[in-house]
Structures are given as structure tokens and as C-alpha cells.
Structure 1
Amino acid sequence: MAKNILLTGGTGFIGKHLTDLLISNGFEVSILSRSDRKNTSSITYYKWDLTRNYIDEEAILKADYIIHLSGEGIVEKRWTKKRKKEILESRTQPIDLIFSVLKKTNKKLDAFISASAVGIYGAYTNQNICTENTTPANDFLGITCQEWEKAVDQINTLGIRTVKVRTGIVLGKDEGFLKKVVPSFKAGFGSILGTGKQYVPWIHIEDLCNIYLKAIVDEKMSGPYNSCVTDNTTNASLSRILAQLFGYKIWLPKAPAFVLKIVLGEMSVAVLEGQRVSSEKIQKMGFDFQFTDLESALISCLN
């Protein structure tokens, strides 16, 4: 019988691509949804409601693997105290709920695989290359990711293999990061943000989904893995390549950091700072990135 993969966040950007990949590799897919959805020939939907601490337990009992992708967008709204709480709880509460069902039913999964983020290393810019052993930061992003991963550790105490996929900027056609920035570049108004020296750890959506697939099938994988290309991409180099692909050189002055801080508030650190991140650990597990050249990756997303 085909193994069943249960997804949270299965209808989002990453979830949709991952669902297609899993189905094409012969897995059954179930998705937890807050709204009523009709099952298809390849996807079964189950209801959950975090506001009522409710989940259809059949979804958990049927699953062989659970992949946790759900969470409020980091840069969708200003970081008010309320918004920060929403960002954190949208990542940890689903895991707490799943943990309670697993513990109550004594259900043994083959693995629990969760998204995490390279934000665990903090919103800083320096020349250091962060590995999975780098000390987590104490800023908002760092603390959020630490709490996120601590929630995953609960699952591990049940004797279930856990994997944490620390993701950077995800590149995909008409979605995610590029959906936000391409319109201005396409219109000829692309610009560099702040100094432009902040690093941009990135990964193509196809590579990211294949990392999740590897985390399922490779029983040796456990713990955190940085999931982005190790290179020297900065906001300036990314911006210049994007402009070049649309046929021009950046002519606008750099967007001043102080203006972005006024407009975005504390959230501005998410675009004004960034660290280099090592992918050596996942590569040593035998994973080969299909997209390691930024320009080629962008072209594949823009065509």
C-alpha cells in the first residue's frame, strides 16, 4: 500500500508544489484545511480549527508521515505585538495539537518533518557562514524559530524521527518572494534595498520540495538542515540580475534604510539584514541541488 503523507499548509505556495511531487512519486496525500474542501482522486482533505483546538483525528491515525508547513507570513504585515504573537503561534500551535493526538492515540509515525527557517541565525549581516551548529539569535526571528523547533522536539520525545528544514528565500514562478518583487522590476523600477550588502540565502522551489522528499525516504535524516544554496548572493547582486533579465540596468538610487524602517517598522530587518548559510550538511547526506546558479534559477521562474 502507498504511504500516506499528511500536510499542514498543503494549499500554500510550497504545499501545492510538494503535493504534486509526492503524488507523482506514488504517495497518498492528505491535507488539513480550515475550510470545507471536496476530496479529489489523489487528495483527501480533513478539517482542523486551531481557534477551537480541533483536529479530525482520523487524519493523524491514517498518516505515515506528517509534514508541517503552515504558518503566517513573516513579511505580510507590520510586526505589532499582536502580529508577532500570530506569527509564533501559527507555527507552534499546530505542532502542539498534533503532539497531543499522537500521544493520546499512541500513534507512531515514520517521521515528522517540519519547516523552519534560516531566520534562526538572526537578522544580522556579517561574513560568517552559519551552520546548523551556529548559536541561535535572540532577536524576534531567532526566538520564533527556536520556539518553532522546540515544538518539533516534543514529537521526537515520542520516539518519532523528526527533521527540521531551515529554509531561506524560496524562488518559484509567480509565487512567494518573486510574486512580491517582480512587478516593480518588470516595470523598470527595481532598486537595491539599504546597503545591498545583506546576504540573501535562496533555494529554488523544486530543490526545496526534493529536500522534503528526501527527508521522507532517507531514514538517516534527522534534526535540522539548512535548505538553501551556499553562495555570496546579496540583495544588490540579486537586484542587478533581476533588472538585467528584464533588459535594463538599475537606475534608481538605493532605497534608504531609514525610509524602509519608517515604512515597515521593526519588520524592515527582514529585508535589510541577512546572513550567509551553509548547505554542507544536507549535501553530505547525498542531496544534489539542481539549481545552484541564481540567474539560471530566476530564468526558470520567469519563463
Structure 2
Amino acid sequence: MSRKVLITGGTGLIGTRLAELLIDAGYEVALLSRQTSASHYHTFRWDPRHDILDPAAIRYADYIINLAGSSVSDGKWTEERKREILESRLNGTRLLAKELAKGEHHVRAFLSASAIGIYGDSGDKLVNEEMPPNTPADDFLADVSRKWEQAAQEVAALGIRTIIARIGIVLSTEGGALPQMARPVKLMAGAALGSGKQFMSWIHLDDLCRLLIQMLDEPQWQGTYNAVSPNPVTNQIFTETLADVMHRPLVLPKVPAFALNLMMGEMSEIVLASQRVSAEKVLNQGFTFEYPNLKGALDSFYAAEE
């Protein structure tokens, strides 16, 4: 049986590693990209901003993994930047739904990324997929995630098996939050952020990619799942564990929230919002984490540097 996967956002942090592991697992991989020369994978052209999508791409695919979206942590959240973050997710997802609605395809499953930001700042309450996102209208990340998931539901409405993965903080030394957190720790300038009591729900990049592949592989995966490790930790514990693994002392006091607001503006909600997210649903579905605990995950990156 043909196993061809089409990935949007395939040159990003998750997509790059996911494509490698899909190839290892016996899948064929092609990308959707604005630049068709950007990769050694077969690449179809699309430009969601202008509603352009090579129809051959959809006809190629047995599975579609939709990861495309502008990074939320690159630069301050100006109104223009916020519009780009939202539209880069909605335009692509809607364009795929529109093309799939034409029916000339053999797509067996559609896997679309979302983010745990949909839960807003939930303090120390453990949140799961059954809880309706209870967020104020001024929570930008929750609003983006909610609209992104609504766009993915347009594919589910076509009768295609649709999986939405609410992704936590992805740990990798190749990009994302971890290198930004590790840099000050390495320079002995590491410190907890804000109160340090806010929960961080994280997942090792390899576990995330293995989870996404299992979601594709097994037809019982359908609907919405949290893609986080089973052991979220507070920002204080995260910072202390990172310092311990990197053999650096933590000598500085916590960075106060007002200072983060001054530096980052509204974007400070990325590091100050507390999200304690349950992994029970993916565990019950039969997924096994290689890195369920933070120390083991961080050791996998930094132990070799000793």
C-alpha cells in the first residue's frame, strides 16, 4: 500500500526531523513550499497568501501533515506580526481544505498542528482535551490556536480522518525555546522567569515526531490530542534541572514579570502563562514516551557535552 506523506512547514524544526523519521519508517516524503528548490525532498509549490497550490500535490498524497505557520517567537508582536502569525496558519489550512473538497485525491488522513496555547493561562489546574478552551478574547495565542483548529475541522467535515495535535514546548538544540533558555544558563546568568511557578508542558522533539507518525499509522487516532510529555514542570524546576544537567550554578534572582513585559511586550505571555497539560489521552491510546521525564530529555542533548 502506498505511503506518501505531504508535509507543509517541512523545513521547520519539527518538519525537518519528522521527514527524516518518516523516511526511516518506510514512508515517501514530499513538501509543500513557496520555494521549490529549498529541499532535497520532492517539493510542490504553494503560496497560501495568494491561494496558489499545485493540484498535483494533493493527488500525490496518501497523508497530509500540516505544520505550516510563522514562528510566534521571532520578533515582537506588532499588529502586522500578529496578523502574519494568524494568517500563515489559517490561509494554508483553508487552502488545503478547499483543494481536498474537490475530491480528486486518495488522502487517508490529515494531521494538523495546533498548540497548547489554546488553554490560555490555566494556573496549576491540569487541563485536558475535553475542556472547552475557556479563554478571554484578548489572549492572542489561544485565539490563534482556536481559529487554526476550526480551519482543520473543515477537512474533518469532508469525512477525512483528521487528527489535531496540540503541541507543547518542543525541546531540541536545533531551535525553539531550549537554546534560548540554555544560553544564559551556560553563561551562568540563568534565572527563573516571573514567579517561576508557571507550568511548562514540554515534549522532546523525537517523541513528538514518533507520536505524529503513530497518529498517521494507526486508524484509531482521530480527533484532538495533547502532544506533551506526561510530566510538566514549573519554570523554576525547568531552570534548575537545565542548570544541573549543564553543570552550572543558578546565582541570579528570578527575572521579574515586569522586566519581561518591558523586553518582550505582549509576547511575554509565551513564558509567563502557566499551562499544565495532561498527556493521559495519548498514553491511553498506546503511545510510549522515550523521554517522559525532563532530566532524561535534557541529558539526551547536553550529557554528551561533558
Band the TM-score falls in, shorter-chain normalisation: over 0.9
Measure the CA separation in 1 of the matches of 2:3 and 2:231: 36
Question: Gaps spanning 5+ residues in structure 2: where?
Answer: none
Conserved 8 A contact 1:174-1:301: no
Measure the CA separation in 2 of the matches of 1:104 and 1:245: 52
Offset at 1:173? 2.6
Conserved 8 A contact 1:2-1:26: no
> Residue 67 of structure 2 aligns with which residue?
69
Conserved 8 A contact 1:103-1:158: yes
> Residue 111 of structure 2 aligns with which residue?
113
Conserved 8 A contact 1:125-1:199: no
Find runs of 4+ consecutive structure 1 residues off by over 6 angstroms.
none
Conserved 8 A contact 2:199-2:232: yes
Measure the CA separation in 1 of the matches of 2:233 and 2:113: 22
> Residue 33 of structure 1 aligns with which residue?
33
Measure the CA separation in 2 of the matches of 1:246 and 1:171: 15
Number of positions where the alignment pairs a residue of Structure 1 with one of Structure 2: 300
Measure the CA separation in 2 of the matches of 1:236 and 1:222: 35
1:55 matched to 2:53? The reply is yes
User: Alpha carbons of 1:82 and 1:219: their partners in 2 closer, same or farther (altered >3 Å)?
Assistant: same
> Which amino acid is the alignment partner of residue 71 of structure 1?
G
> Which amino acid is the alignment partner of residue 274 of structure 2?
G
SS in 1 for 2:233: coil
Conserved 8 A contact 2:124-2:199: no
> Residue 20 of structure 1 aligns with which residue?
20
Measure the CA separation in 2 of the matches of 1:187 and 1:174: 19
Measure the CA separation in 2 of the matches of 1:25 and 1:168: 24
- Which stretch of the first structure deviates more once superposed, 216-225 or 176-185? 176-185
SS in 2 for 1:104: coil
> Which amino acid is the alignment partner of residue 89 of structure 1?
E
Question: Percent same amino acid among aligned pairs?
Answer: 40
SS in 1 for 2:166: strand
Conserved 8 A contact 1:171-1:301: no
Offset at 1:230? 2.7
> Which amino acid is the alignment partner of residue 113 of structure 2?
A
User: Alpha carbons of 1:36 and 1:106: their partners in 2 closer, same or farther (altered >3 Å)?
Assistant: closer
> Residue 215 of structure 2 aligns with which residue?
215
Measure the CA separation in 2 of the matches of 1:14 and 1:215: 15
Offset at 1:249? 2.3
Conserved 8 A contact 1:7-1:30: yes
User: Alpha carbons of 1:276 and 1:25: their partners in 2 closer, same or farther (altered >3 Å)?
Assistant: same
Conserved 8 A contact 2:186-2:248: no
> Residue 225 of structure 2 aligns with which residue?
225
> Which amino acid is the alignment partner of residue 197 of structure 1?
K
Offset at 1:279? 0.6
- Which stretch of the first structure deviates more once superposed, 230-239 or 9-18? 230-239
1:80 matched to 2:78? The reply is yes
Offset at 1:175? 2.1
Conserved 8 A contact 1:57-1:101: yes
Measure the CA separation in 1 of the matches of 2:20 and 2:114: 21
> Which amino acid is the alignment partner of residue 268 of structure 1?
S
Offset at 1:194? 0.6
Conserved 8 A contact 1:243-1:249: yes
Conserved 8 A contact 2:31-2:44: yes
Measure the CA separation in 1 of the matches of 2:174 and 2:47: 29
Measure the CA separation in 2 of the matches of 1:273 and 1:257: 11
Offset at 1:39? 6.7
> Residue 262 of structure 1 aligns with which residue?
262
Identify which of 121, 125, 129 aligns with 2:126. Answer: 129
Conserved 8 A contact 1:125-1:198: no
Measure the CA separation in 1 of the matches of 2:38 and 2:166: 32
- Which stretch of the first structure deviates more once superposed, 31-40 or 146-155? 31-40
Measure the CA separation in 1 of the matches of 2:30 and 2:274: 35
Q: TM-score, normalised by structure 1?
A: 0.95
SS in 2 for 1:19: helix
Measure the CA separation in 1 of the matches of 2:191 and 2:160: 46
Conserved 8 A contact 1:230-1:276: no
Offset at 1:108? 4.0
- Which stretch of the first structure deviates more once superposed, 132-141 or 289-298? 132-141
> Which amino acid is the alignment partner of residue 130 of structure 2?
N
Measure the CA separation in 2 of the matches of 1:247 and 1:282: 33
